[in-house]
């Protein structure tokens, strides 16, 4: 989603049907970065998750991919309702 706001991205996620198991959102900064920081509940303690949180706190580079585990249904996604499990920046 180009030129979308944080609220636009959240609206897309919230409109995902409940029977969908995986939702991929492709967008641009600053909204993708804002949503990533907003959703994370900070609970993950695995080294990869801690590293992901630190990287996202610093910046969200082009082509960055954040992976979350949800603690709520799609319709209820809001601040702190997901756990940032990993973050990667594929380069080719």
21's CB contacts (< 8 A; 6+ apart) are none
**The token pair that represents 14 in the structure block:** 């919230």
Q: What is the pLDDT of residues 41-65, one digit of tens each?
A: 988 888 888 888 888 888 888 889 9
pTM of structure? 0.85
Domains, the chain, with CATH or none: 6-88 (3.40.50.1240)
Residue 92: predicted pLDDT: 56
Listed residue (77, 59, 60) closest to 69, CA to CA: 77
pLDDT of 2 above 70: yes
pLDDT digits (tens, 9 = 90+) for 66-79: 999 998 899 999 99
């Amino acid at each position: 989603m180009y030129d979308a706001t944080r609220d636009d991205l959240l609206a897309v996620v919230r409109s995902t049907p409940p029977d969908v198991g995986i939702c991929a959102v492709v967008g641009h900064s600053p909204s993708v970065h804002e949503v990533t920081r907003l959703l994370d509940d900070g609970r993950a303690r695995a080294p990869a998750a801690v590293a992901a949180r630190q990287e996202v706190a610093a910046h969200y580079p082009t082509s960055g991919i954040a992976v979350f585990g949800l603690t709520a249904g799609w319709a209820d996604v809001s601040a702190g309702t997901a756990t940032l499990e990993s973050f990667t920046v594929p380069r080719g």
